[in-house]
Amino acid sequence: MEQPLPLHQNTTQPPEVRAADLVARLTLDEKISQMQHAAPAVDRLGIPEYNWWNECLHGVGRAGTATVFPQAIALAATWNTDLLAEVVTAIGDEGRAKHHEAARSGNRSQYYGLTFWTPNINIFRDPRWGRGQETYGEDPYLTARFGVTFVKYLQGDDPKYLKAAACAKHYAVHSGPENGRHYFNAVASPRDLWDTYLPAFEALVTEAKVEAVMGAYNRTNGEPCCASPTLLEEILRQRWGFQGHVVSDCWAIDDIFKHHRVVETAEEAVALAVNAGCDLECGCAYGALVGAVEQGLIDEPTIDRAVTRLMTTRFRLGLFDPDEAVPYAAIPYSVNDSAEHAALALRTARESMVLLKNEAGFLPLPKTLKRVAVIGPNADDLHVLLGNYNGTPSNPVTPLAGIRAKLPDAEVVYARGSSVWGSHTEGYDEALRAARDAEVIIYAGGLSQAIEGEEGQHESVPDDEKSMGDRVDIVLPPLQQNLLEQLHQLGKPVVLVLINGGAVSIPWANTHLPAILEAWYPGQAAGTAIADVLFGDYNPGGRLPVTVYRSLDDLPGFHDYDMTNRTYRYFTGEPLYPFGYGLSYTDFAYRNLRLSRETLADGQTLAVTVDVQNVGQRAGDEVAQLYLRHLNASIPAPRHSLQGFQRLALQPGETRRVTFTLESRQFSLVSAAGERVLEPGEVQIFVGGGQPSDETPSAVVTVSG
C-alpha cells in the first residue's frame, strides 16, 4: 500500500501547512540555521541551500550581465506607473531566469535567489542623504504608488506561486544620516509618523501584499527597528495584518547590543528581535539563539513561528516544487539582457529626463552643428551612469558616445576637465582649449557614487567631501562649479547636463546658462536618451520627485526628523525648482475642471475630470497633477498634497479628458495623536502641470466628515 506524502511534499496543500509540517521535522539547531540569510542545506529533509540576499533596485543587481534601468529616483521622475509595471515585469523575468540558470548548475550563492530586498520606500526628506537615490522621492503618495506597482509586478499574478518576493525597506523612519545609522534614534512625532513616514509601508502591506519587510538599522522613538514591538507587532501585524516575513538590515542585530546598547549581550539582542517578530537576519548574530534558548530568553515555539514564516515564503516561490509545476520557471534565460529589455531601458531613460531650463527655446539643438565640445567628469564615465545596487550592462552608452552617434558629421571634441570632486584643476586647461572653438558646449557633470551613496561605500573620498556616503552640501561640487564658470566666460552657450541621484542646487547655472537637463543616473541607455532630448528626437516630459532647494540655509538639521519646513508639503521658502516641476518643448492648457459631487462624506468617492490640451507645435508628454489644499482645517495640514497624477502623450492640438477618482480617506488629516481624521470643512482641488498656483484650475468640495 502506497504511503501518503508528507504534508510538506504535497503540492496541493497550502504553503503555510507545508511549511509548518517541514519545520516540525527540524531540530532546534537546524531551525536556527535557517534564520540567517545564508541558510545551509538540510539534506535529510531535502532542503537545499538558500541565500536570501538578492537585489533588483533598478534591474537585477550584482549577478553579472543584466539590463540596467535608470536608478529608482529616475524611475520616479517618469511619473508613469504603467511604464514602471513594464520595467518591473522585465526585472522579474530576468531575476527568475538567472535563478533557474544558476540552480541548474548548482549555484545557490548570494544574488541568485528569488527574495529581492527591494523597493526602498523611505521618504527622501533631506537631499544630503546619499541613499535618497534609491527611493521614489519626497512625497508619501508618489512613493506609495510607485512602491505598490513595483511589488505587484515583481511578485506576479499567479494564484499559487510568487514570481519573486519583494521587500519593503527600510522600516521605519530611515533616511540618514548614514554615519549614524547604527546608533541613531530617529524621533518622529505621531503626526509625522503616520502622515509622512508610514503611509507607503502601509500601502505596500495592505494593498500590494508585499512578502517581506526589512527593519532599519536605527532606533525609532527609542526602539531598535529590528526589535520594535511597536513597529513589528502592533503596527505591522496587528494593525495592518501583515502575513509575510520580516528581515533585518545587514548586521543590524549586532547594533542592538553593540551600538544602540539597549541590551548587553548577543543572546539578549537576538531574543529581543525574534520575540518582536524579526524572522530572518542578514548577518550571523542569530547563531546566539542557541544560547538564548538555554538562558530562557526565548522559547522554541517562537523560533518555530519565525522559521514557518520563512519556509512559507520559500514554498510560495516554488523552491521545493519541480520546475514544471511552477509557471515562472519556464521563463527562458534569453530574456536576460534582451533587445526588448534594452529598448525598454532606453524608453525609460527618455521618460525620466527633466528639463529644468530652456531659455528662449535654446533646446533642442540643431543637428547641423559642425563643432561641439563635450566636457565634464560624467561625460564619458560608464560607471557613473549606473547608480548603486546595479547590474552590469553589456552595451552601455555614455553621454559622449550618444552625442557622437547623434552627430556623425560633426567634430565632437571631448575633455574631462576635472573629477567629480576634489581640488585638482590640471584638467581645466585642456577643457578650455577643447571648448574655445566650439559652437556649443555640453557640460556633463553633477555627482557620482564617490560622494553620495551608502555608509562605507566610499572609503577613498576625503572626509571633508562626504559623510560616510552623505553629502556635506547640496551645491555642485566647487571643482566643477569653477570650471563651469570658466567655460561660460568663453562666450559660448553652455548646456548643463546633471547626472546625479540627490538634488543639486545650481543657482548660478540657473541664472547664467541657457539650458539645463536633469538626467539622474539614467542606466545603460544614458547617452542615447540624453542625446535624443538635447537634439529634439525626444520631447522631455519627466517631472521632479523632489524639491531642489537653493542652499542648506533652507533646511533644518540633518539629524532632525521633524517634517517642519521639509519637502514641498511643509517647506515655506522659495525653492530653486519645485517638486513636480519640468519643462517641455511644447505647451499644455487645462480647462473644464469638474467634480462629480459638491459634498463628500466618509466612504464616498469623488471623480475629478479635466481637459488637457497640447497647445504647442510638437508632440509631447504632460503630467497632470492633482493636489488637495485644506482651507479651514483645525488640524495642522500640509500646504497642499499630491493625491493623483497621470502622464499623457498628446499630439499638437490634441485634447484628452483626464479623470481622477479620489477616496474619502485621501481627504483625511493626521491628528497630533497620529489618528486619521476626516474633518468637516472645505478642500480645494487643483489640477495642472505642477504644484498649485494662481493660474491652476481649481474647485472646492465640502467634506461632511
Could you give the CA distance from residue 289 to residue 208 in angstroms, rounded to a whole number? 32
Q: Which helix (H) or strand (E) holds 169?
A: strand 167-171
Determine the pLDDT at residue 464: 56
Could you give the CA distance from residue 550 to residue 511 in angstroms, rounded to a whole number? 12
Determine the pLDDT at residue 108: 96
CATH for 353-570, options being 3.10.20.30, 3.40.50.1700, 3.40.640.10, 3.30.450.40 = 3.40.50.1700
Domain positions in the chain are 7-335, 353-570, 588-703
Closest CA to 50 of 94, 107, 123: 107
Question: Model confidence at 449, in pLDDT bands (50, 70, 90)?
Answer: very high
Q: 0.95 cut: is pTM over it?
A: yes
* Type of residue found at 176: G
Q: What is the pLDDT of residues 283-311, one digit of tens each?
A: 999 999 999 999 999 999 999 999 999 99
Average pLDDT estimate for 190-201: 98
Phi/psi of residue 71, nearest 5 degrees: -55, 160
Beta bridge partners of 487: none
Determine the pLDDT at residue 457: 73
Q: What is the pLDDT of residues 331-350, one digit of tens each?
A: 999 999 999 999 999 999 99
| Cβ atoms < 10 Å from Cβ of 643 | 18
Active-site entry in 279, 381, 452, 518: 452
* Burial class of residue 636, CB neighbours in 10 A (0-12, 13-18, 19+): middle
Determine the pLDDT at residue 705: 72
List the grid coordinates of 220. Answer: 525609532
Neighbouring residues of 322: CB distance < 8 A, sequence distance ≥ 6: none
Question: What's the Cα-to-Cα distance from 220 to each of 190, 234, 243, 493, 703, rounded to whole Å?
Answer: 11, 14, 22, 49, 34
Contact at 8 Å (CB) between 468 and 459? no
Could you give the CA distance from residue 548 to residue 363 in angstroms, rounded to a whole number? 22
Q: What is the pLDDT of residues 651-699, one digit of tens each?
A: 999 999 999 999 999 999 999 999 999 999 999 999 999 999 999 999 9
Determine the pLDDT at residue 72: 99
**What's the CATH class of domain 588-703?**
mainly beta
Q: What is the pLDDT of residues 459-504, one digit of tens each?
A: 556 555 566 899 999 999 999 999 999 999 999 999 999 999 999 9
Is the alpha carbon torsion for 18, 23, 26, 32 positive or negative? positive
Closest CA to 350 of 576, 138, 584, 587: 584
452 catalytic per annotation: yes
Contact at 8 Å (CB) between 173 and 193? yes
Question: Can you give 649-688 as a three-state secondary structure string?
Answer: EECCCCEEEEEEEEEHHHHCEECCCCCEECCCEEEEEEEE
Average pLDDT estimate for 42-48: 97
- What letter would DSSP give residue 632? S
Average pLDDT estimate for 571-583: 98
Contact at 8 Å (CB) between 621 and 347? no
Active-site entry in 249, 351, 465, 470: 249
82 catalytic per annotation: no
Does position 221 have pLDDT exceeding 90, yes or no? yes
pLDDT mean across residues, the chain: 97
Closest CA to 511 of 494, 497, 535: 494
Is the alpha carbon torsion for 474, 477, 482, 484 positive or negative? negative
- % of the chain residues with pLDDT over 90: 97
Q: What is the number of H-type helices and E-type strands within the chain?
A: 18, 24
Average pLDDT estimate for 121-141: 98
Determine the pLDDT at residue 458: 62
Q: What is the pLDDT of residues 244-290, one digit of tens each?
A: 999 999 999 999 999 999 999 999 999 999 999 999 999 999 999 99
Determine the pLDDT at residue 460: 56
Q: What is the pLDDT of residues 438-448, one digit of tens each?
A: 999 999 999 99
Determine the pLDDT at residue 468: 80
- Examine residue 172 and say whether the peptide bond preceding it is cis (omega within 30 degrees of 0): yes
List the grid coordinates of 537. Answer: 528626437
Determine the pLDDT at residue 381: 97
List the grid coordinates of 235. Answer: 503596527
Could you give the CA distance from residue 250 to residue 210 in angstroms, rounded to a whole number? 20
Determine the pLDDT at residue 3: 76
Average pLDDT estimate for 154-170: 98
Query: What architecture is the 7-335 domain classified under in CATH?
Result: Alpha-Beta Barrel (3.20)
